[in-house]
Each structure stands twice: as C-alpha cells, then as structure tokens.
Amino acid sequence: MGRFVGRITALAMALGAPGLFFVAFLDSSFLSLPHIADLMVVYMVTRHKARVAVYVASAVVGSIAGCLVMYYIGRKGGEALVRKRFAQDKVEGAMRTVQRYGVMAVLIPSILPPPAPFKIFVLLAGVAGVSLGRFVAALAIGRGVRYIALGFLAVKHGDSALAYLRDHGAAASLIAVGVLAAAFTLYLLWSKMRQV
C-alpha cells in the first residue's frame, strides 16, 4: 500500500492543482490517504504562494466531491455497508450523534486531522437523510477552515509550516472545533430565544 500511495502522491504533485483535487477526492471517498492532502497543500503553497487560493479550492472541492460519493452510497442503502465496515458500537454512537446534531456531526470531524473518525459520519449523514444542501455547506465550511488554515500557515511560515503542523496541528484543530462548537451553541440559544 505504501508504494501505491507514493505513486499516487508523485502523480498528484506532477499535476499540481488537479492532482491535489484527485488526492482529496480519493481520501474522502474510497481510499484513506491520511495527511497526504494536508501535506500537499502546505508543500504546494510554499512553492507557489500566489496560487494559495487555487490549491485550497482544489483540496476543498475534491474533498466535497469524494464525500458526495460516500453520502450517496449511504443514501442508497449504505447502512449495511456501514455496519460491515465499522464496529457495531461505533455505528450506534455515530448514528445517535448524526440524528441529534445533524450537520454539526459532519462539520466538526471535517476539520479534525486523522485519526479522528470522519467517513462514518459522512456515510451516516446519507443514511439519516441529512439534506444535501446542508451537508455540502457543512463540508465547505469545515474543509474550508482546515485548508485555508493550512494555506495560511504555508504562506506565513514557508517550509517550516510542515514542522509547525506536525507539532501543533492537533491543538489548532481543537481550537477551531471549540470556536465552531461555541458558535453553534450560541446559534441554538438564539433560535430558542426567537421561539419564545
């Protein structure tokens, strides 16, 4: 598998932005290529800082496209697939989370770096019938925050961004999730106050 991933990465690097789209698509759909898209964004931006928006957009759109494949698999009866692929207790817990929090159960994991579970929530969003528009919006926000932050790090820190990402990536992701969770809580409170 390592040689296969190496070939995909080399091909993607040679293709530039379309290659980044391809890797993000594969990682969000059928294959798991943990950290590859993240590292490619940082590496490509450090080499061509003026193209940061192109690289970030390629990674975000590729990831959304890959997630849509998994979403539609879930929508078309993927619960059996989910139950085969993941442990029963994880499926039950994830399904309760999706049913209770809806798109937030997709948005938050979309920001977190591996090994945080993500694909199970994407599949279960389809199984649970989360609306397509809200699903895509959650992914655009989550992946957008993630890849924009990586692009910013690459522009600001250059080659040292990879070391910074390795040392502080998890903490930065948790801060972003905390901010989003706080914003979601405020939104829920505001919605309840409007109903009173």
The CA-CA-CA angle for residues 17, 21, 27, to 5°, reads 140
Per-residue pLDDT of 72-97, as tens digits, reads: 998 987 777 777 777 888 888 888 88
Res 87: pLDDT: 81
Containing domain of residue 174, as a range? 2-195
Res 59: pLDDT: 96
Per-residue pLDDT of 101-159, as tens digits, reads: 888 888 888 887 777 788 888 988 998 889 999 999 999 999 998 899 889 888 888 77
Quote the number of domains for the chain.
1
Provide DSSP, 163-180: HHHHHHHHHHHHHHHHHH
State the pTM of this model: 0.82
- State which of 11-20, 52-61, 80-89 shows the largest mean pLDDT: 52-61
Residue type, 56: V
Per-residue pLDDT of 168-184, as tens digits, reads: 666 666 666 666 666 66
